Structure 1
Amino acid sequence: MRILVLGGDGYLGWPTALHLSQCGHDVAVADNFVRRQYDFELGMDSLVPIESLQTRVSTWQDLTGKTIKVYVGDLTEADFTYEMIRDFGPEAVVHFAEQRAAPYSMIDRKHAVYTQVNNVVGTLNLLYAIAEIDPEIHLVKLGTMGEYGTPNIDIEEGWLEVEHNGRTDRMLYPKRPGSFYHLSKVHDSHNMEFACRIWGLRATDLNQGVVYGQQTAETVLDDRLATRFDYDAVFGTVLNRFVVQAVLGHPLTVYGTGGQTRGIIDIRDTVRCIQLACENPAERGEFRVFNQMTESLSVADIAATVAKSYPGEVTVHNLDNPRVEKEEHYYKVVHSGLVELGLEPHLLSDTLITSLFDVAKRYSDRVDLNAMQPRVNWRGALDGVTR
């Protein structure tokens, strides 16, 4: 199968491209390298050093004999998007190419507008390119569990059966996102559903939980194939931050009470989910939604798991929560679709023991302690750190 991975230089895009290539698919990647520019803007860096995309691709070819074609450009530029789709002729397009951090989108007006324009316009250009060039192409789009928010009812897989005044209907599950980033993903989902319903496109929306882990079967073959390890307060995940703090002997910084519950998933399961979605495409006219997560844990539970797994003393420090979110809430998610396709999930504790602590120890000299301090406050977005 010919698969185009958009955002193929990123944390998830790169290991996904390698996994799909290793599985025998003909893979191309596209990126505009803006994620690397965010590091320069914010004065941050991946804990694990990462090579240029060109070095990564050539290393992969040297090791495996498999080639990955590279396109450099921006999805918000329609001409580039159309030319890329025509040139590669993909059967599936995996779409990771969006600004992905909630805190980044909440810095100030400029970052909120940038996030919305970049994500929504880029996806719209892609939908038009697919519709006009080859509507048989299957779009596999990375969404987020954050689209749903934290409703006081069970979260279904994208759709909800509703009865009202004696009548029933099937509609998209209501969304209450918690940041301008998550809101951009809601707009994407609505635009994709519209394109499937009106134009007869085929699309799979993967509402993914928080991803943890830094290694896959492919990236460990050579240090030059490594993907990012973000631990900072803007692009990093809470688990990565806890792991780094544990290794350094610092308290784990929990926002608020730590009662916020989220869906989580191992990076090895992410690349497998993408493979399963590509190899089992949606039907023409179908907008298919999978909740791409494997466990639900509160922030306090994640901190406790890190403390229990780490072979040393670990303490916890509760900070004022810079985000506007419920401290305690109901959270029950249906996530059976990908398991039915063949996903065999990894568990969080296994990943910590086998991977994350070792990675953090190896690169502990690269840690910037200031990067882990909260620097974006949801309540003070008008007074953000960057204008």
Structure 2
Amino acid sequence: MRVLVLGGDGYLGWPTALHLSDRGHDTAVLDNLARRGYDRELGVQSLVPIEDLDTRVAAWEEVSGRTIPAYTGDLLDADFVYRVLREFAPDAIVHFAEQRAAPYSMIDREHAVYTQHNNVVGTLNLMYAIAETNPDIHLVKLGTMGEYGTPNIDIEEGWLEVEHNGRKDRMLYPKKPGSFYHLSKVHDSHNLEFGCRIWGMRVTDLNQGVVYGQQTDQTVRDARLATRFDYDAVFGTVLNRFVIQAVLGEPLTVYGAGGQTRGFLDIRDTVECIRLAVENPADAGEFRVFNQMTESYSVSQLAALVAESFAGPVQVEHLENPRVEQAEHYYNVKHTGLVGLGLQPHLLSETLIESMFDIVSANKDRVDPAALLPTVRWQGPLKR
């Protein structure tokens, strides 16, 4: 199968491209390299050194004997998108090519507008390019569990059967996103469902939880194939922050009381979920939704797990929560679709001990402690 990975230079896009290539798919990547620009803007860097895209592609060919063509360009450039789809002629497209950080989208008006324009318009350009070049292309779109928010009912896989005033219908699950970034993903989902309904597109929307880990079976084959490890307060995850703080002997900084609960999954499960979705495509006209997560933890539970797994003393410190979110809430997510296709999940408790502490220890000299502190607040714009 011919698969085009958009955002193929990113944290998940690059190991996904390697995984698909290693499984025999003719894989290409497309990226505008914006993610590297965010690092320069924020004055931060990946904890693990990463090579440029050309070096990565050359290293993979050297290690595996397989080529990964690389296209450099932007989804906001519609002509470029059409050209790539005609030239590479993919059977499936994996779409990671969006600004992915909630804090980045909440910095100020400019960052909120950029996030929504980049994400929503880029996806609209892609939709039209698929519809006008080859409507049979299967689009695997990376969404987020953050689209749902934290409702006081079970979270279904994308769709909800509703009975109202004696009548029943099936509709998209109601969304309650928590940032302008998450809102952009909701807009994507609605636009893509519309495209399936009116154009007969085939789309799999993967509502992904928080991904942890930095190594896959392919990236460990050569240091030049390494993917990112983000730890700063804008693009990093709470788990990466906790692991770094444990290794450095600093208190684990829990925002608020720590009752915020989210879904999580290992990076090895992420790339496998995408492979399973690509190899088992949605039907024409189908907007298929999978909740891509394997375990759920509250922030306090994460801190306790890190403290229990680390071979040394660990303290926990509670900070004022810079976000506007429920401190305690119900969280029960249905996530059976990908397991039904064959996913065999890894567990966080195993990954912590197997690799994460070692990765941080080997690169701890690259940590900027100031980057761990929250700098973006959700309270609202300042009066001018």
Instruction: Please give the range of the TM-score, normalised by the shorter of the 2 chains.
Output: over 0.9
2:190 match: secondary structure: helix
Give the structure 2 partner of residue 326 of structure 1.
326
Structure 2 residue 353 is matched with structure 1 residue 353:
yes
1:363 match: secondary structure: helix
Relative to structure 1, the CA distance from residue 318 to residue 113 in structure 2 (aligned partners, 3 Å threshold; closer, same or farther) is same
What is the alpha-carbon distance in structure 2 between the residues aligned to residue 296 and residue 207 of structure 1?
Answer: 14
What is the alpha-carbon distance in structure 2 between the residues aligned to residue 263 and residue 350 of structure 1?
Answer: 17
What is the alpha-carbon distance in structure 1 between the residues aligned to residue 269 and residue 307 of structure 2?
Answer: 23
2:93 match: secondary structure: strand
What is the alpha-carbon distance in structure 2 between the residues aligned to residue 160 and residue 340 of structure 1?
Answer: 19
1:28 match: secondary structure: strand
1:342 match: secondary structure: coil
Give the structure 1 partner of residue 64 of structure 2.
64
Deviation at 1:381, TM superposition (A): 4.0
Structure 2 residue 191 is matched with structure 1 residue 191:
yes
Does the Cα contact within 8 Å between 1:108 and 1:382 map onto a contact in 2?
no
Give the structure 2 partner of residue 49 of structure 1.
49
Give the structure 2 partner of residue 132 of structure 1.
132
Does the Cα contact within 8 Å between 1:106 and 1:381 map onto a contact in 2?
no
Does the Cα contact within 8 Å between 1:7 and 1:98 map onto a contact in 2?
yes
Give the structure 2 partner of residue 23 of structure 1.
23
TM-score (norm 2): 0.99
What is the alpha-carbon distance in structure 2 between the residues aligned to residue 223 and residue 379 of structure 1?
Answer: 42
Does the Cα contact within 8 Å between 1:107 and 1:381 map onto a contact in 2?
no
Give the structure 2 partner of residue 231 of structure 1.
231
1:184 match: secondary structure: helix
Deviation sequence 1:200-259 (CA, Å, 0-9, x none): 000000000000000000000111000000001000000000000000000000000000
What is the alpha-carbon distance in structure 2 between the residues aligned to residue 138 and residue 209 of structure 1?
Answer: 22
What is the alpha-carbon distance in structure 2 between the residues aligned to residue 303 and residue 220 of structure 1?
Answer: 27
Deviation sequence 1:272-297 (CA, Å, 0-9, x none): 00000000000000000000000010
Structure 2 residue 5 is matched with structure 1 residue 5:
yes
Deviation at 1:374, TM superposition (A): 0.3
What is the alpha-carbon distance in structure 2 between the residues aligned to residue 380 and residue 130 of structure 1?
Answer: 38
Q: How is 1:92-241 mapped onto 2 (pairs within 5 angstroms)? A: 92-241=92-241
Deviation at 1:383, TM superposition (A): 7.6
Amino acid of the residue matched to residue 367 of structure 1? V
Amino acid of the residue matched to residue 293 of structure 1? M
Give the structure 2 partner of residue 378 of structure 1.
378
Does the Cα contact within 8 Å between 1:208 and 1:293 map onto a contact in 2?
yes
Deviation at 1:317, TM superposition (A): 0.3
1:378 match: secondary structure: coil
Amino acid of the residue matched to residue 93 of structure 1? I
Relative to structure 1, the CA distance from residue 31 to residue 86 in structure 2 (aligned partners, 3 Å threshold; closer, same or farther) is same
Give the structure 2 partner of residue 37 of structure 1.
37
Amino acid of the residue matched to residue 85 of structure 1? L
Give the structure 2 partner of residue 90 of structure 1.
90
Q: How is 1:361-372 mapped onto 2 (pairs within 5 angstroms)? A: 361-372=361-372
What is the alpha-carbon distance in structure 1 between the residues aligned to residue 383 and residue 171 of structure 2?
Answer: 38
Relative to structure 1, the CA distance from residue 116 to residue 64 in structure 2 (aligned partners, 3 Å threshold; closer, same or farther) is same
What is the alpha-carbon distance in structure 1 between the residues aligned to residue 290 and residue 180 of structure 2?
Answer: 22
Amino acid of the residue matched to residue 322 of structure 1? P
What is the alpha-carbon distance in structure 2 between the residues aligned to residue 382 and residue 224 of structure 1?
Answer: 44
Give the structure 1 partner of residue 313 of structure 2.
313
What is the alpha-carbon distance in structure 1 between the residues aligned to residue 136 and residue 5 of structure 2?
Answer: 17
1:154 match: secondary structure: coil
What is the alpha-carbon distance in structure 2 between the residues aligned to residue 383 and residue 181 of structure 1?
Answer: 23
1:111 match: secondary structure: helix
What is the alpha-carbon distance in structure 2 between the residues aligned to residue 383 and residue 322 of structure 1?
Answer: 18
Amino acid of the residue matched to residue 354 of structure 1? E
Relative to structure 1, the CA distance from residue 26 to residue 6 in structure 2 (aligned partners, 3 Å threshold; closer, same or farther) is same
What is the alpha-carbon distance in structure 2 between the residues aligned to residue 291 and residue 82 of structure 1?
Answer: 30
Amino acid of the residue matched to residue 378 of structure 1? W
Deviation sequence 1:29-48 (CA, Å, 0-9, x none): 00000000000000011000
What is the alpha-carbon distance in structure 2 between the residues aligned to residue 375 and residue 44 of structure 1?
Answer: 13
Q: Structure 1: which 4+ aligned runs deviate by more than 2 Å?
A: 380-384
What is the alpha-carbon distance in structure 1 between the residues aligned to residue 37 and residue 237 of structure 2?
Answer: 19
Does the Cα contact within 8 Å between 1:6 and 1:95 map onto a contact in 2?
yes
What is the alpha-carbon distance in structure 2 between the residues aligned to residue 140 and residue 266 of structure 1?
Answer: 19
Give the structure 2 partner of residue 336 of structure 1.
336
Matched-pair identity in %? 74
Deviation sequence 1:42-63 (CA, Å, 0-9, x none): 0011000100000000000001
What is the alpha-carbon distance in structure 2 between the residues aligned to residue 208 and residue 64 of structure 1?
Answer: 29
What is the alpha-carbon distance in structure 2 between the residues aligned to residue 382 and residue 56 of structure 1?
Answer: 43
What is the alpha-carbon distance in structure 2 between the residues aligned to residue 307 and residue 381 of structure 1?
Answer: 37
Superposition CA RMSD, Å = 0.9
Q: Can you give the 5+ residue segments of structure 2 that lack an aligned partner in the other structure?
A: none
Does the Cα contact within 8 Å between 1:109 and 1:382 map onto a contact in 2?
no
Amino acid of the residue matched to residue 88 of structure 1? F
What is the alpha-carbon distance in structure 1 between the residues aligned to residue 50 and residue 180 of structure 2?
Answer: 28
